[in-house]
Structure 1
Amino acid sequence: MPKTDRNPQASHSHFPTNDEILSILSDRVDGRRQSVGIVVGMIDGGRRRVVSYGRHSADNTSTPDGDSVFEIGSITKVYTAFLLADMVGRGEATFDEPVQDLLPSGVAVPERNGRKITLQQLSTHLSGLPRMPDNFNGDDPDPYRHYTVDALYQFLAAHELTRDVDTVEEYSNLGVGLLGHALTCRANKDYETLIRERVTGPLGMRSTSIELSDSMKIRLVPGHDASLRPVLGWNLGPSPFAGAGALRSTVNDQLTLLETIFGQRKSSLDQAIEETMTLRQRVADQDIALGWGAKALGDDVLYGHDGGTAGYRSMMLFYRRARTGVVLMSNAAGDVGDIAHHLLNPAKPLNKARVIVPVDQAVLQSYTGRYELRADFVIIVTEADQHLIAQATGQGPFGIFPENAQEFFADFDLNVQVIFNVDSHGVVVSMTLRQHGKDTEMLKIG
């Protein structure tokens, strides 16, 4: 059953009506089967609204709502940025401080051409560190739980940066995880405690944490993979990756954060939040903020971050000056982020439904193998039932499904395509990874 909150819907709202939103959500749950349950929260004109559709699971047909608990994955990185800015504001750290200085004596951090990686560069993904360490086991159903601090230090000691720091933006779970870990070393407190004392506590966000309270356990919505099969939750809390993706939260708590960002609420974190909003530099036509994705558009800035774990997807998008924002949470790994973009900006069309076409098994088999971007990043492609499975270094496997004989789409994000390239003799020589319009070619090496 669908759910909407009790707040009256303003006739001048920037957003579609509840019925229009429910039509979109029901199509993704019942039609395209991209999710089991979706909750959308919106703020416009100082008022919040929550609309939801679907169910918790096959065994629990109740509809999630604004207080239902989801894993929010990489949205956690924004909280790590708040924590960094707060510690800088208190004089406990500086943005340009080398991360090396916060770690125990004897721990080596790679540098290049005499430049050390700073705390700000970790938060802005300009550190030069890869997305994941190469000693991370992405095959584990709960992959982060068993990754230790010692394993992180071993990777850092052996790793050589392939580019200068502060020159190329490369999204790095490793980098933000290292940042969160370094801040815990400086404060001599664990990540959960720091976030509670410095961020969620001052903001009154009682349903945002790593460890679940008894109340949150009752409200937790089970996760599902992109094929809507139940999956285990991820436990990043014990690992040095906590700052990159460990938090669980609710749509209502994230709307509280948006209200604080919009100035509707006052807190001791206001200055730290302001620091994260600052556009610090521009790299390759990309605006760089602390923790946020950001894009200057006219007299406003679009800020946002998404999150994804084995069984959940989430997104937060907002225009700060217009004080208009969207929070979306889904209890499946399928891509539904386009809904948030469309609700915030109706000129952004919803994704078209992807259609899987049959491809000869011999053709699928010819695409299997190893594709290399560089020595520390390889994608292995294997065959499955009428589709392929791809797995990148340090990451879990994901399905790719044929749209035609050479072009495939990813089950976790419909804006990610894999295109297999053949030479004049019909031999597969490379793949092109197309992510949100950006093409990266990877050579087939075996």
Structure 2
Amino acid sequence: MRLFRFLLLFILSTQFVVAQDAIIPDDYKDYIKARVDKGINPSISMAYIVGDAVEFYNYGKTQLNDGESVDKHSVYEIGSISKVFTTILLADEILKGKMKLSDPIQDYLPESVTVPVRNDKVITLKDLATHTSGLPRMPGNFKPADLKNPFADYSVKQLYDFLSNYELPRDIGSQYEYSNLGMGLLGHILELHTGKTYESLVVNRIAKPLDMADTQIEFTDKMKSHLAIGHNEQLETTSNWDITTLAGAGAIRSTTSDMVKFVKANLTDDGSDLYKAMALSHKIAYTNDAKTFNIGLGWHYSNGDSIVWHNGGTGGYRAFSGFLKDSNKGVVVFTNSTFSVDNIGLKILGQPLELKIPEKRVYPEVVVLSNDILDSYVGKYQLTPQFFITVSRKDNQLVAQATGQPEFEIFPSADNEFFLKVVEASITFNKDEAGNIVSMTLHQNGQDVPGKKIE
């Protein structure tokens, strides 16, 4: 009886604290609940920060079927939010006088690596940190053995080979192009420069000082026990991603509880070296010629540059973290599926968006084709002077790789018709009168883009 009274008292007091700190509007909670109840997301974990007040709202399960209820300690992959950890580490080195934004990255790489140049201009640390290096989104030699864990086997040697043989398509610093390669390379440079692993830099310079015990790359036993299992586009459970060489682009795992500490640290000037590095990362570092786009060191801006944010995604997760500049408001939103939660985070920070329930795609029935037919589609197709799609076969599965993007599976719905699951798009392979495959047509966003087979 005494134990029951204690439990009842604890429950009542907990409910009172939550009620006192209720700052997430009910319509956001209703929207999150609707998305989970409709099977769009197995779970959504959200934290909203207003000054000293923080409210967590966690709804759903760690796994779509037979999972446990998520809470603020549930572990998610945060994907590309890792990039702002990388740029904060860079900013820390800059403030310590050990690196400069203007430093050529060639100075930090082995002599055997030849970093591409263009018009006598070299790629600098700033170019990597602002996605303006001219390097593509993904390296062209990125051909994973396991598409469910695509970064696991990409090696440092492959990275160096790609850099040494790549020709930049435009002037360095002239244009923003989001690059996992560039930010992953920045993380690798920080490893070479400090002599420490990327994970140890994240843990010792950011996570430990902020008491973020469940924020790192390698799973601890505790993190494994609290893992929200990732789900792919079909809401099937999928693999976690092991990002090694390009860890700085998206390898970190965390919880909403830990990320609240991270966001609050970005908002709170406590005079620490860490805050100073964070503040430097917030400053606008690149503006396009039209004055319509700004980016800090890794951080993106929205709503007249008042919202500072970054999102992330891996094979089974989506994440958003951001805050209002010159305010005390911030937000973290995680989910263990590939249906984005960006709109929740951006809207609560003031972006004028409508909270719509995403629609699950209905895929055509997959037909079985012989390997001989599949082989006839293998080749390289040119859709624009600098945009190609390369098709290859892995066992009885065709995969395609667009310029600057990772490989993705394509699935046959007819002899010459294939569809994608990663995005809403399809491909038609076209024959000449002799029955030879001579081109493809990419159907996407209401457009039909032809591509001649060149290999």
Shorter-chain TM-score: which interval? 0.7 to 0.9
TM-score, normalising length: structure 2: 0.80
Does 2:326 align with 1:324?
no
User: Cα distance, 1:397 vs. partner?
Assistant: 2.3
Alpha-carbon distance in structure 2 between the residues aligned to 1:358 and 1:204: 44
Q: Check whether the contact 2:383–2:389 (CA below 8 A) recurs between aligned residues.
A: yes
User: Cα distance, 1:87 vs. partner?
Assistant: 0.6
1:397 to 380, 383, 408: 408
User: Cα distance, 1:378 vs. partner?
Assistant: 2.4
1:270-327 Cα deviation digits (max 9, x unpaired): 1101111101231141112101112362xx6211111111111111122122322221
Opposite residue 47 of structure 1, the aligned amino acid is: A
1:353-386 Cα deviation digits (max 9, x unpaired): 4375798999xxxxx995635546427699xxxx
Alpha-carbon distance in structure 1 between the residues aligned to 2:392 and 2:354: 31
Q: Check whether the contact 2:40–2:358 (CA below 8 A) recurs between aligned residues.
A: no
Does 2:87 align with 1:77?
no
Does 2:71 align with 1:62?
no
Does 2:154 align with 1:144?
no
Does 2:298 align with 1:308?
no
1:186-233 Cα deviation digits (max 9, x unpaired): 111111111122222222211110112222121121111111111111
Residue equivalent to 1:195: 202
Alpha-carbon distance in structure 1 between the residues aligned to 2:252 and 2:68: 24
Deviates more, 1:209-218 or 1:244-253: 209-218
Q: Secondary structure at the match of 1:306?
A: strand
Does 2:155 align with 1:155?
no
Residue equivalent to 2:241: 234
Does 2:252 align with 1:247?
yes
Does 2:339 align with 1:334?
yes
Residue equivalent to 1:52: 58
Q: Secondary structure at the match of 2:160?
A: helix
Does 2:100 align with 1:94?
yes
Q: Secondary structure at the match of 2:55?
A: strand
- Return closer, same or farther for 1:93/1:349 CA change in 2, 3 Å cut-off: same
User: Any residues of structure 2 matched to 1:292-307 within 5 Å, and which?
Assistant: 292-295=299-302, 297=304, 301-307=306-312
1:164 to 171, 174, 185: 171
Opposite residue 343 of structure 1, the aligned amino acid is: I
Alpha-carbon distance in structure 1 between the residues aligned to 2:269 and 2:44: 26
Alpha-carbon distance in structure 2 between the residues aligned to 1:101 and 1:377: 32
Residue equivalent to 2:19: 8
- Return closer, same or farther for 1:373/1:275 CA change in 2, 3 Å cut-off: farther
Alpha-carbon distance in structure 1 between the residues aligned to 2:321 and 2:235: 23
Q: Check whether the contact 1:371–1:442 (CA below 8 A) recurs between aligned residues.
A: no
Larger Rg: 2
Q: Check whether the contact 1:55–1:61 (CA below 8 A) recurs between aligned residues.
A: yes
Does 2:283 align with 1:278?
yes
Opposite residue 190 of structure 1, the aligned amino acid is: T
Alpha-carbon distance in structure 2 between the residues aligned to 1:156 and 1:306: 27
User: Cα distance, 1:165 vs. partner?
Assistant: 0.5
Does 2:45 align with 1:39?
yes
TM-score, normalising length: structure 1: 0.81
1:312-347 Cα deviation digits (max 9, x unpaired): 111112212232222111111222322222333373
Q: Secondary structure at the match of 1:202?
A: coil
Alpha-carbon distance in structure 1 between the residues aligned to 2:37 and 2:253: 26
Alpha-carbon distance in structure 2 between the residues aligned to 1:292 and 1:441: 34
Alpha-carbon distance in structure 2 between the residues aligned to 1:262 and 1:322: 7
1:21 to 14, 28, 42: 28
Residue equivalent to 1:385: none
Q: Check whether the contact 2:269–2:275 (CA below 8 A) recurs between aligned residues.
A: no
1:288 to 273, 291, 295: 295
Identity of aligned residues (%): 34
Q: Check whether the contact 2:35–2:357 (CA below 8 A) recurs between aligned residues.
A: no
Alpha carbon RMSD of aligned pairs, Å?
3.5
Q: Check whether the contact 1:87–1:93 (CA below 8 A) recurs between aligned residues.
A: yes
Opposite residue 110 of structure 1, the aligned amino acid is: P
Alpha-carbon distance in structure 2 between the residues aligned to 1:223 and 1:379: 28
Alpha-carbon distance in structure 2 between the residues aligned to 1:4 and 1:126: 49
Residue equivalent to 1:186: 193
User: Cα distance, 1:265 vs. partner?
Assistant: 5.6
Q: Secondary structure at the match of 1:142?
A: coil
2:265 to 237, 260, 263: 260
- Return closer, same or farther for 1:73/1:310 CA change in 2, 3 Å cut-off: same
Opposite residue 213 of structure 2, the aligned amino acid is: R
Deviates more, 1:336-345 or 1:117-126: 336-345
Q: Check whether the contact 2:302–2:351 (CA below 8 A) recurs between aligned residues.
A: no
Alpha-carbon distance in structure 2 between the residues aligned to 1:381 and 1:371: 15
Alpha-carbon distance in structure 2 between the residues aligned to 1:96 and 1:440: 41
